[in-house]
Structure 1
Amino acid sequence: MDQFKKFTSTVSSTVSSSVTPFAARSQQWFKEQTGNAGEKTELPHDYVELEVRIDALKATHQKLLAATSQYANEAYDYPPNIRESFQDMGKGISEKVNLLSKAGSASEAQAAITAPPSAKPQPKTFNHAIARASLSGSQTISMATPQGSTEPDPLAQGLEKVAIAQEKVGEARLAQDEQIQGKFLAGWSATLNQNIKSADKARTAVNNARLSLDAAKGKASAGGRHEESYTENQRKAIEAAEDVFVEKVDEATHIMRNVLDTPEPLRNLVELMKAQAEYHQRAADILEEVTKGISDIQMDQETSYRKARDQ
């Protein structure tokens, strides 16, 4: 029986020590919301400025992440109006072109186009879609060319070059996306979900300490009592709450300054710009090369066209 009383007393003491501070803070918060609280303890000006800067940093990370998270979605630029078949999404462009080059007849060419798909599905990007449409058009025109023709169709040639180039651009875009995911999105998300979250947690601790302090002050001044009439226990309670408040403000100040001073977000931005620059440079090189190749075909066709007209 004595052990039961001792256990009950221990539990009651534990519950009281954990619930009472929370209840006091909740009551103080409610009073402040309803305008029935006394004067609130002011936070240091420097601390408030840090809070404003942390809020700005948080909002910036959230907005940029909302936009750049699309880099983790392969089909972010895939046109919704395109309807590609299972065969269209089969083998890659380069693989199909290789099979077509070995085809000795129209039936073999058709078999190359409709060859079973590779184990890995073809990417759903805008460039890959253009590549697939271009190769399909090239083969359609080639198969419509009369048998026995000694010269390949110029447009079919040009479309095949476009298909190969667009696939290369699409692969470069996927490489860019992978680089951005690993070197920008990962770091940017870590800052938001770890560093800024740690600062928010510290700020919550400050607010709780401030509520506890003001609750202790409010309890001591109940009934209009002035500070000189506080009891010794009330003074000790206020002093203890003040110590905790100052400690939490110092901790939060240190954490927020560290979050704001770290160069990690700028490092992440450099990686984002670097990945985009490398992709656009690679794409420009590919497109410049294919443009020259198609221009050569165009010039040859125009020369043949003028000669035919002059005859």
Structure 2
Amino acid sequence: MDSFSKFTQNVSTNWTPFANKVSKGFTQYKQLASETLGSHAEKTELPQDYVALEKRYESVRQHTQVLLRLTKTYASPAAQLVDMQALQTQFSTLTSRISGKQRDASDREPAAQSEKQPMSPQHEISRASLDAAEKIGLEEPLGAALFKFGSIEEKVGAEKIKQDQCIQRGFVEPTSQMLESGIALAQNARKQVQAARLTLDANKAAFKNARPDKAQEARGEVERAEDHFVTVIEEAMNLMRSVVESPQHLKCLSELVNAQLNYHKEAAALLADLAPEIEEIQVTQEALYHHDNRTISTATDDTSNNSNNNNNA
């Protein structure tokens, strides 16, 4: 009997708050349905300060979500899981092979493993260019140009990965933390405001339709709902203001800009050194090409003239 008595007491204790929660939720749902169906249900207006702040907050929240989604591409496995040592081994193997220094099977094994490693697009271009340079040959202008290009692209790829890792640490991770902490708290507070308003309006409607003997009790419910409504509005405004005015957004944006700036600066410097070399090879090859064509054309004309002269003779 004692065990059964304790059991029933526990059930009663746990059931009461659950039942109250269900009852409150039903009341809010009923009020929302009444408003949605377009009846003449009374609807308490939110303070203008709250509405204005909520609009500012929502703009910041949406911007944060969109920018985080877009910048997560920098944190993809290709950017984060790349094995730089393996890539450097592969690059060294390729360049040595092109130079005629063949490695044995054990030296080539790390390079084979590195092919399984995710790489930046620049590393893929570098590998393809160096492979092509080896097949074409460094004695050929195109082969020499591809070797120079592949060598620089490997360095540009290393800078790209460095940029991606900086963006991951300086923007993606702290921005995700903001969404999961401050913004999440503000979102929950906004839901509490909506729930408090529905409860208040439901209590107002109940007071309006209450019998005289229930009027005092209904008035008390309205007053308590009003106090709670004011409290949750203040809490929500504090949390939304904290999100809107936080310097963390600007700090993350600064990290994003600086990471991109450093990458483009280093990449531009590398490519600026490469461009004149490729252009010089191109100009030289073009001159040789036109010279050879003129030589062939002249030889053809001479042969044709000699043939004509022989025929005339």
TM-score, normalised to structure 2's length? 0.78
Shift of 1:192: 2.4
Structure 1 residues 116 and 239: CA distance shift in structure 2, 3 A? same
State the identity %.
Answer: 36
**Aligned counterpart in structure 2 of residue 273 of structure 1, from 250, 257, 267:** 257
**Aligned counterpart in structure 2 of residue 249 of structure 1, from 230, 233, 251:** 233
Aligned to 1:38: 41
Aligned to 1:81: none
Aligned to 1:163: 150
Shift of 1:98: 2.8
Q: In the TM superposition, what whole-angstrom CA distance separates every residue of 1:233-262 from its partner, at most 9, and x where no partner exists?
A: 111111111111111011111111111000
Structure 1 residues 138 and 23: CA distance shift in structure 2, 3 A? same
**Aligned counterpart in structure 2 of residue 141 of structure 1, from 136, 161, 168:** 136
Q: Is the 8 A contact 1:176 1:275 kept in 2?
A: yes
Q: Distance in 2 between matches of 1:12 and 1:246?
A: 29
Question: What letter corresponds to residue 116 of structure 1 in structure 2?
Answer: E
Gaps of 5+ in 2: 80-86, 296-313
Shift of 1:74: 5.3
**What's the C-alpha RMSD, in Å, of the aligned pairs?**
3.2
Q: Distance in 1 between matches of 2:195 and 2:213?
A: 26
Q: Residues 278-289 of structure 1 correspond to what in structure 2 (within 5 A)? A: 278-289=262-273
Q: Is the 8 A contact 1:54 1:256 kept in 2?
A: yes
Q: Residues 171-250 of structure 1 correspond to what in structure 2 (within 5 A)? A: 171-222=158-209, 231-250=215-234
Q: In the TM superposition, what whole-angstrom CA distance separates every residue of 1:111-144 from its partner, at most 9, and x where no partner exists?
A: 79x933434445433222221221112111229x
Q: Is the 8 A contact 2:57 2:241 kept in 1?
A: no
Q: Distance in 2 between matches of 1:198 and 1:95?
A: 53
Structure 1 residues 20 and 167: CA distance shift in structure 2, 3 A? same
Shift of 1:15: 3.5
Q: Distance in 2 between matches of 1:49 and 1:238?
A: 26
Q: Is the 8 A contact 1:47 1:253 kept in 2?
A: yes
Q: In the TM superposition, what whole-angstrom CA distance separates every residue of 1:81-105 from its partner, at most 9, and x where no partner exists?
A: xxxxxxxx995223321344352xx
Q: Is the 8 A contact 1:41 1:210 kept in 2?
A: yes
Runs of 4+ in 1 over 4 A off after TM superposition: 4-9, 295-310
Q: Distance in 1 between matches of 2:74 and 2:14?
A: 53
Structure 1 residues 164 and 90: CA distance shift in structure 2, 3 A? closer
The count of corresponding residues between Structure 1 and Structure 2 is 281
Q: Distance in 1 between matches of 2:165 and 2:46?
A: 44
Q: Is the 8 A contact 1:199 1:252 kept in 2?
A: yes
Higher helix content, 1 or 2: 2
**Aligned counterpart in structure 2 of residue 290 of structure 1, from 258, 268, 274:** 274
Q: Is the 8 A contact 1:213 1:242 kept in 2?
A: yes
| 3-state DSSP of counterpart to 1:70 | helix
TM-score, normalised to structure 1's length? 0.78
